[in-house]
Amino acid sequence: VITISELARFAGVTVKAVRHYHARGLLPEPDRDASGYRRYDAQAAVDLIRIKTLADAGVPLARVHELLSAEQDEFAVAVDEIGRDLSARIRVMEQHRTRVARLTDAASLALPAFVLDYLDRLRALGLSERMVNVEREGWILLCAHRPERSQGWIRMKQESLDDRSYVEGYRLLDLTWDWAPDDPRLVEVADAFAQIAPGLRTAEDDPAAPVPEDFDDTMVALLDSQTVEKVPSWARLIGLLQERGLIGWTDPHYDD
Amino acid sequence: VITISELARFAGVTVKAVRHYHARGLLPEPDRDASGYRRYDAQAAVDLIRIKTLADAGVPLARVHELLSAEQDEFAVAVDEIGRDLSARIRVMEQHRTRVARLTDAASLALPAFVLDYLDRLRALGLSERMVNVEREGWILLCAHRPERSQGWIRMKQESLDDRSYVEGYRLLDLTWDWAPDDPRLVEVADAFAQIAPGLRTAEDDPAAPVPEDFDDTMVALLDSQTVEKVPSWARLIGLLQERGLIGWTDPHYDD
DNA sequence: TTGCTCCTCACGTCACGTGAGGTGGC
DNA sequence: TTGCTCCTCACGTCACGTGAGGTGGC
């Protein structure tokens, strides 16, 4: 009594969708008129609205097919499950929304505000932009890998930055970037670090400090590729520091 | 420095997804090792996390490609838009969730509680189950088509059911279901309706009553296919009622 | 006659997933 | 040697969308 386009508009779907539901066996093929046009009645409209209601809720069409011929109790259980599934999907979408809301620019992608504050402070302390960049990419990795611990680490780093000798260490490291690995000044820098060392915080000082278990092999490999493998002079420097009994988070076997 | 599976696990995606991003040109192909294996560095991990963050937010990969090379301000505008889009999608999902929550069984699919209450009352008044079914399917159509007006209509119908003569009319109609269209008793029923008529409510009595504009051609055609086209005696009855100056919502030209 | 709807294939899309068939590393 | 990972095609999936080429109704 109505045509396919009338039916489709009525239910709020496309004509193609209706034909697709026929092909899938979800909606029974109606009788045709003299020219081969499909003619639908109210039952078809009711069926289609049911299909759309379930499909809109994210139910796969194969599942819709089952449900349309399900018994009362079986259906009730399924509807309950669909509702919980929708709620769960809404929750993850809300997480993604808050994550997206933090993305003010491409540089801060995946970085929470407390890391951005920390990076701003490094800039304010006079560190070079490429140094800040190394930190930034490192923190993107850390935040992705250990989101629950990263805030604690940042707090610890912020406290460390209150220490002048710690800041001096950073500035020294910044200076060595372009030096050749065999630059004799690196030995002086390593000695300077050894002086500063007592001021550097370790896991023994602070329970929030990172411990070896915080970094799996993947993490260590990635952080290394950003630092010792990228800046030749730093590889040398790490070696010199190890000779002086100072080791950081990096793989002791980085030089393999 | 890390393998494809390490990279994938780190970012929380599948190995296939990483290769897909290579194929789409989203993630640059890294160098290979001696056996042709891809070797990734931290930059790749950072890039992949960025891609995943955007893709999780529902951004099409083609769009992700643009955004990764966008300028600060252009990116900020896009992120804002993605956030609004996510919020909108969350809102429609919440609508679908509330709609799904109402689906206690297959019969009540797409029907709000106030319609179910109305149908229960019809049963309580002694109407046959098949009669209730005709009402139910009609209301499914009405609720789908005019959701904003259906509650008002139900309220009006509930008030009408307080009228004994109105209820009598329903019971008479129920009785005629199986009669032949030429059954002489139909004339008596039509006469009885004519007696009841002053008690029937019309648009003149109540501004909430349905007017012809509430039903487009599709709606009329569908409601007809559930009633006058389905039950032969009703087609005859409508004709008899029209002779007596009583017309309902149905198409006056139903008999074409 | 023009424009709109309808019909049936067949192939496209989106973001991957699934084997198939083979090689490399411990 | 076994099991695991890696590689590259090629094709599959899900829910339709997009024409292609043709007919019917006003």
Of B96, B103, B222, the CB nearest to A45: B222
The arithmetic mean of pLDDT across residues A57-72, rounded, is 90
Q: Which residues pair with A38 in a beta bridge?
A: A32
Q: Which of A148, A62, A54 is nearest to B103 (CA)?
A: A54
Structure confidence at residue B254 as a pLDDT band (50, 70, 90): very low
Question: Which of the pair, B229 or A206, is modelled with greater confidence?
Answer: B229
Q: Does the pLDDT of residue A69 top 50, yes or no?
A: yes
* Strand C atom within 7 Å of B61 CB: yes
* Tokens 């009855």 found at: B237
Q: Is A145 close to B10, i.e. CB distance below 8 A?
A: yes
Structure confidence at residue A82 as a pLDDT band (50, 70, 90): very high
% of chain A surpassing 70 pLDDT: 83
* Strand D atom within 7 Å of A36 CB: yes
Instruction: Determine the pLDDT at residue B138.
Output: 84
The arithmetic mean of pLDDT across residues B211-236, rounded, is 74
Structure confidence at residue A54 as a pLDDT band (50, 70, 90): very high
pTM to 2 decimals?
0.75
CA–chain centroid gap for B120, Å, is 22
Q: Does the pLDDT of residue B256 top 50, yes or no?
A: no
* Tokens 């260490």 found at: A169
pLDDT digits (tens, 9 = 90+) for A121-173: 999 999 999 899 888 888 877 876 776 778 888 998 898 889 888 888 888 88
Measure A35 CA to D24 C1' (Å).
7
Q: Does the pLDDT of residue B251 top 60, yes or no?
A: no
Helix (H), strand (E), coil (C) string for A3-43: CHHHHHHHHCCCHHHHHHHHHCCCCCCCCECCCCCECECHH
Instruction: Determine the pLDDT at residue A231.
Output: 83
Instruction: Determine the pLDDT at residue A253.
Output: 40
Of A109, A221, A224, the CB nearest to B50: A109
The span from the CA of A242 to the CA of A230, in Å, is 19
Structure confidence at residue B19 as a pLDDT band (50, 70, 90): very high
The span from the CA of B102 to the CA of A80, in Å, is 10
* Strand D atom within 7 Å of B5 CB: yes
Total beta-carbon pairs less than 8 A apart between chain A and chain B: 174
pLDDT digits (tens, 9 = 90+) for A233-250: 888 888 887 777 765 544
Return mean pLDDT, chain A: 82
pLDDT digits (tens, 9 = 90+) for A100-134: 776 665 455 557 788 989 999 999 999 999 899 88
Q: Exposed, middle or buried by CB within 10 Å (0-12, 13-18, 19+), for B205?
A: exposed
Return mean pLDDT, chain B: 82
Contacts of A72 in chain B (CB under 8 A): 105-106
Comparing every residue's Cα with the C1' atom of nucleotide C23, the nearest one is B35
- Chain A residues 44-103, Cβ below 7 A from strand D: 55, 60-62
Instruction: Determine the pLDDT at residue B118.
Output: 94
Alpha helices in A105-256 (DSSP H): 113-124, 129-145, 147-160, 164-176, 185-196, 217-226, 232-243
Comparing every residue's Cα with the C1' atom of nucleotide D25, the nearest one is A35
Q: Does the pLDDT of residue B225 top 80, yes or no?
A: no
The arithmetic mean of pLDDT across residues B204-232, rounded, is 70
* Strand C atom within 7 Å of B60 CB: yes
A221, two tokens: 């490999």
Structure confidence at residue A194 as a pLDDT band (50, 70, 90): confident
Structure confidence at residue A207 as a pLDDT band (50, 70, 90): low
Q: Is A2 close to B76, i.e. CB distance below 8 A?
A: no
C-alpha dihedral (A53, A55, A60, A65), degrees to nearest 10:
50
The span from the CA of A76 to the CA of B30, in Å, is 51
Q: Is A93 close to B97, i.e. CB distance below 8 A?
A: no
% of chain B surpassing 90 pLDDT: 33
Lowest mean pLDDT among A194-208, A236-250, B212-226: A194-208
Residues in contact with B252: Cβ distance below 8 Å, sequence separation at least 6, in sequence order: B242
Q: Does the pLDDT of residue B133 top 60, yes or no?
A: yes
Nucleotide nearest to B39 in CA–C1' terms: D6
Q: Is A82 close to B70, i.e. CB distance below 8 A?
A: no
Measure A7 CA to C3 C1' (Å).
21
Contacts of B93 in chain A (CB under 8 A): 86, 89-90, 93
Find out whether A25 and A66 touch, Cβ atoms under 8 Å. no
Lowest mean pLDDT among A178-182, B31-35, B132-136, B224-228: B224-228
* Strand C atom within 7 Å of B35 CB: yes
Measure B41 CA to D7 C1' (Å).
20
- Sign of the alpha-carbon torsion through A189, A190, A194, A197: positive
Q: How far is A195 from chain B (nearest CA, A)?
A: 31
Q: Is B141 close to A1, i.e. CB distance below 8 A?
A: no
B182 DSSP 8-state letter: T
